[in-house]
Each structure stands twice: as structure tokens, then as C-alpha cells.
Amino acid sequence: MPSRPARSVVISPAQARRIWLRAQRLDETAPFGAGPEATRLATEQLGYVQIDTINVIERSHHHILFTRIPGYRREDLRVAQSVDKTVFEYWTHALSYVPTSALRFYLPEMKRHASEPTRWYAGADPADLRRLIRLVRKDGAISIRDIEEEEVEKDHPWASRKPSKRVLQLGFYNGDFAISARNGMVKSYELLDRHFGWEQRPRAATANQVNDYLIDRALRAQGLISLDSILHTEPGRKPALAQAIDSRVRRKLLVPVTIGNLEKPQFWARPETLEAIPGSGEPLTHILSPFDPLVIQRKRTSLFFGYDHLFEAYVPKAKRRYGYFALPVIVGEDIVAAIDLKTDRAERKLLIQNWTWVGAGEPGRHKTAIEEELARFEAFQLGP
């Protein structure tokens, strides 16, 4: 006899926001402490920290960490990646820093890519990759700047003019190379096994273990999860993820959740999460990267906060609403403004290009707190 569907718990939109903010550690002043260890802890809590090349202000990976680690220094990430090796780079929904403790869950994807490279790298000559592997094994880590070769015409706007960059990236996605260090956005490639000092690689996770990892990662970083939020860029995984969630619901490890009077999407949470929903706390102020985990899934941000973020860097200037690189600003439980910022490094100051009040944002209520956070943000932008 089939079991009855589990009864859904109804929570308010405000409660949903508080659960997510708690999971993101945006309701505490310094939840991870400081130093490289804080970088590791933050990355493990979030599951990944997205990397982006745009540097109108500080690049997204540093910005995301600074938002949660008040004493964060760029050097902390370098140490975590290249010395302690507690984080590594790989593709999640984009190129990201990922906790090394999760590496075995990425080994199956590396193996799959080696057998079925994506179209960007399918044209790379395997003989060239073998040659680069031998070169790195003999001489140590290399960057694209270490390779002298003739440039070729790009076949894609984001592609490199150097053929060997594509080969290096193929080896990276195949799991032959690890990005062992960064100098700005210039990456050094080392043999993956040598970078981590492995005599033998960890055992790759099974498909079911990867699905469990993805669910657990989302529960840790989001509190309330949906099929879309677990892995929003790979809809093909949804049936298997749905089965794994259903199994947890039957074992009472997860509870179906409805937000307000919304019938869809369906959410789930751990019972202990629903038993300890945070109340209203001190209204902390955060200037968020447009690639912050609280913003990157636009539909989820809109549903939880009633704010539709627009990333307008590639939109013609006349059609922009918020600005070229607008940053959402959260005060307490509300996104109240979107501020387009630019760092003038020559003049050593942070420029406000545009300031737009959104949602419940009011100058009289929020402007002073935001200006204080802008001053702290400027100091970080211009610091070491």
C-alpha cells in the first residue's frame, strides 16, 4: 500500500528569508572568524564561491568572502588555495572555489569530461595535452605566460588567442591539472595529484553519492531547498534528485515546506531547521556581489525578497535601470537598494555611479547604515 504524501509545513515569507539568511551566515557579524581558516569554513558553508573576471570593483570571489568575513584579506584565499590547499577550483554552475573536502564528488565529472570533452575543448589535440603533461611533470607548474607560441584568431569571444590555453583548460577539466595558484587572473597549472601530494587519488563518488552531496550542499547553504535551487543549471538531474528527496521525506529526514500561500515551487527543509527558525535580529547591512549565492539564482531571490536583480554589464547604457555593475544592498531581512559602484584605483576612491532604492528601501531609514558599510567596503577595495 503506497504511503501517504507527507503533510507540508507552511511558513511565512519572512521566516523563509530568515532561514536562508541564517544558512548564508548573513545574520551574524563574523561567523567564521578570520584568516585562511575562515576562508575554508566559509567556502564549506556556501558549497562554492564563484569566480568572475570583472574588476570594476573587487572581483566576486574576494567580495563574497569579504561579505561574510569582516577581516578578510586577499592573501587568505591565496594561502587556502596554494599553501593549505583546503580549497580548489572547478566548475559548479560557473568556475568556482570549492572545498577540497568535497573533491571526490567532482572526480566523476572530471572523468566524464576526459571521455566526452565539451565542444569548447573537443578540438584540442590529445597529443598536445600529453606534451604539456610531460612538460609540467618535468619542470613544475606553468601558466599560459610561460608558453611561447603563435597567436591564432579567436573562434569565440571568450576564447584565448593562444592554442595552448585551450589545451591547459582541457587538462584542467579532465582532472590532469589543478590550478595551483593565481596571480590576479593568471592561473598556474600543476599536476592534480602532485598539487595535493597524493600517492593515490581518493575514490570517486558514485552517482547516488554525488546526488546526496548536492542535496546536502544545498541544505547547508540554503536551509530551504527546491529542485531548481539544488543545481539550477542541470535540469537533467532533477528526476534522480527528486527520488533522493522523496526517500528522505519517507524517512522523516526532510519535511515538505510551503511558503505563504504559494503552491509552487515545492521546498524541503530538515526538521531541525524548522524547529529553530531565527527571529528578527540586529539589522546587519551587506553590499552584495551580483554573483553572491543570495543573488545568483534570480528567481529564488525574487521569490524570497521580492527583488528582481538585473545584471546590466552587457546591456546598452540607455536601457539600464540600475547601472553597469549594480550591487544589491541588504539591510536586515530586506533588499533595499541597488548601487552601481566603480573603484577608481588611480584616485583611490569608490565612485557611486547610480543609487536606486528598491522594495522597502527608504533614505530616512537606511541611508546612514548603507553609507557606513560603503566606507568599510571602500577601505577593502583599496587595501592590500
User: Could you read off the pLDDT of 170-193 as tens digits, one per residue?
Assistant: 999 999 999 999 988 899 999 999
Query: How far is the C-alpha of 353 from the C-alpha of 327, rounded, in Å?
Result: 11
**pLDDT > 90? residue 243:** yes
Question: Does the structure show a pLDDT above 70 at 160?
Answer: no
Looking at per-residue pLDDT, the higher value among 115 and 256 belongs to: 256
Measured CA to CA, the distance from residue 261 to residue 333 in angstroms comes to: 20
> What are the φ and ψ backbone dihedral angles of 357, each rounded to 5 degrees?
-80, 135
- What is each CA distance from 50 to 218, 288, 309, 323, 362, in whole angstroms? 15, 13, 17, 21, 31
**Exposed (0-12), middle (13-18) or buried (19+): which is 301, by Cβ within 10 Å?**
buried
Q: State yes or no: pLDDT of 121 exceeds 70.
A: no
Q: What is the pTM of this model?
A: 0.93
The yes-or-no verdict on residue 119 having pLDDT over 90 is no
| Contact criterion met (CB below 8 Å) for 332 and 280 | yes
Is residue 243 in some structural domain? no
pLDDT digit string, tens, across residues 325-381: 999 999 999 999 999 999 999 999 999 999 999 999 999 999 999 999 999 999 999
pLDDT at 158 exceeding the cut of 60: no
Which one of 139, 166, 196 terminates a domain? 196
Q: Strand 267-269 to strand 49-50: parallel, antiparallel, or no bridges (unpaired)? A: unpaired
Share of the chain above pLDDT 70, in %: 93
What total of structural domains would you count in the chain? Answer: 2
d(CA 217, CA 146): 37
Residue 189 is predicted with a pLDDT of 97
The H-or-E segment that residue 335 falls in is strand 334-344
Residue 335, in any domain of the structure? yes
In a domain, 179, yes or no: yes
Side chain identity at 259, as an amino acid letter? I
CATH label of the domain that carries residue 141: 1.10.10
Confidence band (pLDDT; 50, 70, 90) for 149?
low
Q: What is the DSSP string of 291-356?
A: TSTTTSSHHHHHHHHS------TTS-GGG-SS-TTEEEEEETTEEEEEEEEEEETTTTEEEEEEEE
Examine residue 73 and state whether it is found in any structural domain, yes or no. Answer: no
Predicted local confidence at residue 1, as pLDDT: 37
Measure the CA–CA gap between 226 and 241, rounded to whole angstroms: 10
Question: Cα separations (Å) of 298 from 93, 234, 343?
Answer: 14, 16, 25
Give per-residue pLDDT as tens, 139-148.
999 998 887 6
In the predicted model, what is the mean pLDDT of residues 11-18? Answer: 96
* Residue 232 grid cell: 539550477
Measured in degrees and rounded to the nearest 5, phi and psi for residue 40 equal -60, -50
Q: Which residues pair with 178 in a beta bridge?
A: 190
Residue 383's pLDDT is 86
What pLDDT, on the 0 to 100 scale, is given for residue 109?
95
**Residue 347 domain flag:** yes
Residues in the chain: 384
Is residue 205 one of the residues assigned to a domain? no
Contact 28, 37 (CB under 8 A): no
Q: Please provide the average confidence, as pLDDT, over all residues in the chain.
A: 92
Domain membership of residue 172 (yes or no) is yes
Give the pLDDT score at 146. 84
Tell me the pLDDT tens digit for each residue of 244-303.
999 999 999 999 999 987 777 799 999 999 999 999 888 999 999 999 999 999 999 999
pLDDT band of 117, cuts 50, 70, 90 = confident
- Give dist(CA 99, CA 40) in Å, integer: 7
Mean pLDDT, rounded, for 84-96: 96
Max CA-CA distance within the chain? 73
The pLDDT of residue 358 is 97
User: Where a domain ends, among 133, 167, 196?
Assistant: 196
> Is 254 part of a structural domain of the chain?
no
**246 vs 235, which has greater pLDDT?**
246
In terms of residue numbers, what domain contains 183? 118-196
State the Cα–Cα distance between residues 333 and 283, nearest whole angstrom. Answer: 7
Per-residue pLDDT, 234: 81
